[in-house]
Amino acid sequence: MSREHDQTEPVLRIEELSVTFFVRQSLFRTRPVHAVSGVSLVLSLGETVAVVGESGSGKTTLGRATLHLAPISAGRVIFEGTDIGELEGKELMSFRQRAQVIFQDPFSSLSPYMRVGELVAEPLAIHGPKDREEQHQRVLAALEQVKLSPAEEFVEQYPHTLSGGQRQRVSIARAMVLDPDYLVADEPVSMIDASSRAEILYLLAELRAQGELTFLYITHDLASARHFADRIAVMYAGRIVELAPSAQLVDEPRHPYTKALLAAVPEPDPANRLHERPVVGGEPPDAADLPAGCAFAPRCPAAISGVCEVQVPPLIQLDDGHEVACHLYPAGDSIGDSTGEPASESVSSAAATKGSSASG
Ligand SMILES: Nc1ncnc2c1ncn2[C@@H]1O[C@H](COP(=O)(O)OP(=O)(O)OP(=O)(O)O)[C@@H](O)[C@H]1O
Ligand code: SF4
Ligand SMILES: [Mg+2]
């Protein structure tokens, strides 16, 4: 797998990807857990796509599958023209060098028995230069890159002597020391103190700007996704239900679930704190027991009786480039015209009879 990149090719092409786990139910029975179902997504060179959604929606599994770390049940992940499912031996090692991950928890992801220098050098032992001095210089450069400076002082320290933010910087240095082309950051700031979060996100943005890094940013937090990503993909029950440029998605959400997520974001303006904010009730479904049709239907205030609980809505492209999977925006002209407005009167009245509240 070469480092040459064809500028016309997307870096990553996820095609109809499904990941199903089989969990043991009894001695002789397993049951399928549909963690990711039919996801398609393309990431261009240097692009950042945020994946947002509630707990259990499949964000981590999607990210892991793009790194060859979760079993692909159906579909493909194409990295720079190569199906990663077919990689083995040296080709797989080369891919592992070029595609890296930053995990959520900087406390458990770093061995407490290794010094910072050893932790950052570890990936180099497999994929990097064999010369010890060259390795050492790469480690120092990676530590300086993540602003653990002076690096010579940090290499001798153990993780327990560092703050949460500093530990996450060590994790980032471990990922960056191999100069990757593709990075998955799985909730990289959710477990560190609030004061360090903005700094870490700023650092990630800086690293992205230094090279042509393609980024999958996994988060619960729509506000940081809007700030950090070029596009946002909203996941619900293993599927992408809405995909659009970040500002467009946050300012003009189309899917009832996205509207509900945005409604739950705290109001930054204290003057508006007392305004009633609509929030959708209920729990996300169990991936081992998904409802038929649209998985959001049991919670959706706009659900169309006789349609939503029967048919899975496909992800369709609206005229403004926004993509949405919802029967309120049908692909054909049977109910609406895909202009970006919810379709017909019959749909609106169906929603009204259910008492729509997630209008964002
Ligand atoms: N190795 C596994 N074996 C069985 N089920 C799994 C496995 N990994 C994930 N799952 C299930 O797949 C579904 C999606 O999980 P995933 O961790 O991808 O969600 P998530 O969106 O990252 O959630 P969170 O926000 O809590 O991190 C969940 O129902 C989870 O229990
Ligand atoms: S209107 Fe129907 S398809 Fe759209 S989110 Fe609600 S339940 Fe799902
Ligand atoms: Mg997760």
Domains defined along the chain, listed by start = 12-236 (3.40.50.300), 252-354 (no CATH)
Q: Tell which residue, 179, 165, 169, 171, has the closest CA to residue 119.
A: 171
Ligand index nearest the alpha carbon of residue 294: 2
SS3 assignment, position 328:
coil
Tell whether the model's pLDDT for residue 358 goes beyond 50. no
- With a 6 Å cutoff on the Cβ, whether 35 touches ligand 1 is yes
Q: Which residues line ligand 2 (CB under 6 A)?
A: 255-256, 294, 296-297, 300, 302-304, 308, 313, 326-328
pLDDT value of position 278: 47
Sheet bearing 323-324, strands edge to edge: 99-102, 182-186, 214-219, 48-52, 231-236, 239-245, 323-324, 316-317
SS3 assignment, position 85:
helix
Distance of CA 18 to the CA centre of its chain: 15
Atom number of ligand 1 nearest to Cα 53: 21
Residues 6 or more apart in contact with residue 73 via CB below 8 angstroms: 18, 19, 20
Question: Which one of 240, 294, 323, 347 would you pick to mutate in the ligand 2 pocket, going by the greatest count of ligand atoms within 8 A of its CB?
Answer: 294
Q: Which contacts qualify for 155-160: CB closer than 8 Å, 24 or more apart?
A: 155/115, 155/116, 155/117, 155/120, 156/115, 156/116, 156/117, 157/115, 157/116, 158/112, 158/113, 158/114, 158/115, 158/116, 159/106, 159/107, 159/110, 159/111, 159/112, 159/114, 159/116, 159/119, 160/112
Gyration radius of the chain over CA positions: 22
The answer to whether the CB of 173 falls within 8 A of the CB of 148 is yes
Taking the C-alpha atoms of residue 245 and residue 314, their distance in angstroms, rounded to an integer, is: 19
Ligand index nearest the alpha carbon of residue 55: 1
SS3 assignment, position 293:
coil
Check the CA dihedral 239-241-245-246 and report its sign.
Answer: negative
Lowest-pLDDT range of 41-45, 305-309, 338-342 = 338-342
pLDDT bin (cut points 50, 70, 90) of residue 25 is: confident
349 CA to middle of ligand 2, Å? 14
Taking the C-alpha atoms of residue 220 and residue 165, their distance in angstroms, rounded to an integer, is: 19
Tell whether the model's pLDDT for residue 309 goes beyond 60. yes
pTM over cut 0.85: yes
Residue with more model confidence, 217 or 197: 217
Ligand index nearest the alpha carbon of residue 328: 2
Tell whether the model's pLDDT for residue 352 goes beyond 80. no
Computed over every residue of the chain, the mean pLDDT equals 87
Question: Which one of 239, 257, 326 would you pick to mutate in the ligand 2 pocket, going by the greatest count of ligand atoms within 8 A of its CB?
Answer: 326
Tell whether the model's pLDDT for residue 275 goes beyond 70. no
- 33 to 21, 61, 186, 295: CA distances (angstroms): 5, 12, 21, 14
302 CA to middle of ligand 2, Å? 6
Taking the C-alpha atoms of residue 298 and residue 131, their distance in angstroms, rounded to an integer, is: 59
Tell whether the model's pLDDT for residue 182 goes beyond 50. yes
pLDDT value of position 219: 95
Residue nearest to atom 6 of ligand 2 (CA): 303
225 CA to middle of ligand 1, Å? 20
For residue range 310-351, what is the model confidence (pLDDT) as tens digits?
A: 999 999 999 888 999 999 997 754 333 444 556 543 343 333
In the structure, how many helices (H) and strands (E) does the chain have?
11, 12
Tell whether the model's pLDDT for residue 133 goes beyond 50. yes
Mean pLDDT, range 163-178, rounded to an integer: 94
Residue with more model confidence, 347 or 120: 120
Residue nearest to atom 28 of ligand 1 (CA): 56
Q: In the structure encoding, which two tokens stand for residue 275, read together?
A: 């305004």
Tell whether the model's pLDDT for residue 140 goes beyond 80. yes
Ligand index nearest the alpha carbon of residue 52: 1
